Amino acid sequence: MTTLTKIYDTSLTLLTDLYQLTMAHGYWKTGRAEQEAVFHLYFRKNPFEGGYTIAAGLEYALEYVRRFQFSGDDISYLAELEGNDGRPLFSPEFLSYLNDLEITCDLHAVPEGTVVFPHEPLVRVCGPILQCQLLETALLNLINYQTLIATKSARICTATGGDPVLEFGLRRAQGIDGGLSASRAAYIGGCAATSNVLAGKLFGIPVKGTHAHSWVMSFEDELSAFEEYAEAMPNNCVFLVDTYNTLEGVRNAIRVGIQLREAGHKMVGIRLDSGDLAYLSIEARRLLDEAGLTEAAIVASNDLDEATITSLKTQGARIAIWGVGTRLVTAYDQPALGGVYKLGAVRNENNEWEPKLKLSEQAIKTSTPGILQTRRFLNENGAVADMIYDELQNPLPAGNVLIDPLDPTRRRFLDESLQSEDLLIPVVRKGEIVHQQESLEKIRERAQQQLDLFHVGIQRHLEPHEYPVGLEQNLYNFKTEQILLARKLTQS
Ligand SMILES: Nc1ncnc2c1ncn2[C@@H]1O[C@H](COP(=O)(O)OP(=O)(O)OP(=O)(O)O)[C@@H](O)[C@H]1O
Ligand SMILES: O=P(O)(O)OC[C@H]1O[C@H](OP(=O)(O)OP(=O)(O)O)[C@H](O)[C@@H]1O
Ligand SMILES: O=C(O)c1cccnc1
Ligand SMILES: [Mg+2]
């Protein structure tokens, strides 16, 4: 059983914006419901001022497509909706059409864990325009958030330099699904475990945890609290040492650590949750080592993110395990990925594909027309550049030059000896899922392997290296022509 079904047994088909349904009504009424169209889901800027993005959420999206079907309840609800004149918003004939509607679209997508860049399609939907439109909102909802959190997680894991990161975010997450999908995406991005037990059960993510201040506060003194905890959980002791005086707390933990060792157990470590984490971890490490508890790990938490972790690392903090909650699962410094879903082409009455373009005053917001694919070029050291091309352009793709759509003087020539691969792969054919469900473990490994393909500069947090992504020459020329044409039309 896949994820959405495990969590929601209700129909999710209405997880959409009303305007998708009113447009659907319009397409149906004007006889255009079956007109074939292509949409691309992409974002325009890497989140967190970063140099890359990790795609995630596809499994949810595919399951949404698989389950797509208006239930009797859904139809009854829609039948109750009224327009501004108090009459039914949707006609009974249209509702009967929806009742029988089955998704027959083709979807292409980049596998979860793939490193992607602005303007590259993460998903491409091709099929009757009414259906494509009905999928828009849910696809964006399911992919934007997990992609954002997988990326945040990867940034945090890069900052720890390979030390394990425990995701502690559930209490601060955006509701139930925010918590669950954050845990899933954080694991994809590289977190080692979560404190979220339901996420552990549903997704097979390792679960880990320590104890809270309340445990210590509920006893007369800290030493008794640690002793009682050790008595109850001798195989899971990470003592939170900062309830009163942190270094005194470390000494109490050491006393219990020695008792545990004498009883044939091992204290796993201590946790610091306030104060100067650099100073305190260095002092705590010294005390633990002097007591011979060299294997006891120091866990730190308290509003950590990639910036504080990087700073703590440069200060020589002796933290081995990082607990990160709020700033990870809320993507604190950028709470949304601006993924969009834009029409690329429609089939006209002559059965020919007609590329479509959305103009904008801001060049970055002008969409790219066509049926788009991304080709990644690689040499023996890894990825060198990505080319966005239009599968309608002939030859396919032409030439060996990449053109930056925002600055056409920025071009890159691609050596003929480079290898290449196309990022979008078929995942749904005529409404049937053809993508084998992948284990979270495999997706997580892919994210790591993918990051290793790129110049490490893309992982830099400050002014990251800009990986070259450009348009194929024919596509660039075509897009420019279309923009000029549209501008002339809009001026007349
Ligand atoms: N040495 C350090 N360098 C940089 N940032 C640090 C360092 N030590 C702690 N921090 C971060 O500074 C912030 C300290 O938070 P805050 O000012 O609320 O103090 P606190 O230690 O949590 O105090 P309280 O006792 O009230 O919990 C946290 O985000 C923490 O991760
Ligand atoms: O700081 P985060 O990255 O969100 O990690 C999770 C936090 O949750 C817990 O305490 P909580 O925040 O509930 O209480 P506290 O602030 O008093 O420690 C824990 O002690 C961490 O501090
Ligand atoms: O296990 C922990 O230490 C934990 C869990 C959730 C939030 N903060 C800490
Ligand atoms: Mg806190």
pLDDT number for residue 1 = 65
Looking at the domain assignment, is residue 95 inside a domain? Answer: no
For residue 276 and ligand 1, the question of a CB distance below 6 A is answered with yes
Q: Is the ipTM of this complex over 0.95?
A: yes
Please name the residue ranges forming H helices in 8-128: 18-29, 58-67, 72-80, 92-100
| DSSP structural state of residue 486 | H
For residue 373 and ligand 1, the question of a CB distance below 6 A is answered with no
Residue 265 shares a structural domain with residue 126: no
Residue 133 shares a structural domain with residue 196: no
Band of the pLDDT at 398, cuts 50, 70, 90? low
Mean of pLDDT values over 107-123 = 98
326 CA: nearest ligand 2 atom: 4
The preferred substitution site among 270, 301, 302, 319 for testing ligand 3, maximizing ligand atoms within 8 Å of CB, is 301
Residue 308 shares a structural domain with residue 348: no
pTM: 0.97
For residue 115 and ligand 1, the question of a CB distance below 6 A is answered with no
pLDDT number for residue 458 = 98
What is the spatial distance between Cα 263 and Cα 278, in angstroms, rounded to a whole number? 32
Mean of pLDDT values over 22-50 = 98
What is the spatial distance between Cα 56 and Cα 187, in angstroms, rounded to a whole number? 11
Handedness of CA 80, 86, 92, 96 (dihedral sign): negative
For residue 213 and ligand 3, the question of a CB distance below 6 A is answered with no
The number of residues making up the chain comes to 492
Tally of domains in the chain:
2
Read off the CATH number of the domain in which 273 is found: 3.20.20.70
Residue 323 shares a structural domain with residue 388: no
Residue 390 shares a structural domain with residue 459: yes
Determine the structural domain holding residue 384 and report its residue range: 33-66+104-150+340-491
Pick the ligand that lies closest to the CA of residue 324.
2
Band of the pLDDT at 489, cuts 50, 70, 90? low
Residue 177 shares a structural domain with residue 314: yes
pLDDT number for residue 487 = 86
Report pLDDT digits (tens) over 286-301: 999 999 999 999 999 9
Read off the CATH number of the domain in which 359 is found: 3.20.140.10
Residues with Cβ within 8 Å of residue 407, at least 6 apart in sequence: none
pLDDT at residue 491 is higher than 70: no
Band of the pLDDT at 490, cuts 50, 70, 90? low
The preferred substitution site among 303, 308, 321, 332 for testing ligand 2, maximizing ligand atoms within 8 Å of CB, is 303
For residue 245 and ligand 1, the question of a CB distance below 6 A is answered with no
Q: Which of 329, 363, 391 is the last residue of a domain?
A: 329
Q: Which of 56-65, 275-284, 412-421 has the lowest mean pLDDT?
A: 412-421
Looking at the domain assignment, is residue 176 inside a domain? Answer: yes
Q: Which of 306, 329, 352 is the last residue of a domain?
A: 329
pLDDT at residue 397 is higher than 80: no
For residue 243 and ligand 3, the question of a CB distance below 6 A is answered with no
Q: Which of 25, 63, 348, 23 is nearest to 181 (CA)?
A: 63
